Amino acid sequence: MGRLTIKEVSDLTKAGVLDTKAVEELEKKNLVGTRNRGAKYYLKNGSGKVYPQLYFKGLGKKTKPSKDMVTLRQEFNTLLEKFANKE
């Protein structure tokens, strides 16, 4: 079995298939991804396109993002959907 994406876990939770305890167990066993991937977003300025991004400096392959980092990234993506253009 492969890892579930954050979106898949969110959809399963909203559908009532997973509860918070099950999600925590999946996260503990490292079966849930930590990054959202997908569309690129851009903002227009006078001379072209600007691509906003969120980056956590110092986060390497051997470390996992904290729950606060994941929450911040999800809220950042929500703001992108609201204010930026999708490519």
CA dihedral sign of residues 10, 12, 14, 20: negative
Q: State the residue for tokens 């600007």.
A: 50
pLDDT at residue 48 in the model? 92
Q: Is the pTM of this model over 0.85?
A: no
pLDDT in tens, the chain (87 residues): 578 888 888 889 999 999 989 888 888 888 887 766 678 899 999 889 999 999 899 888 888 889 999 899 999 999 999 999 998
Domains in the chain: boundaries = 1-33, 40-87
Residue 35: predicted pLDDT: 67
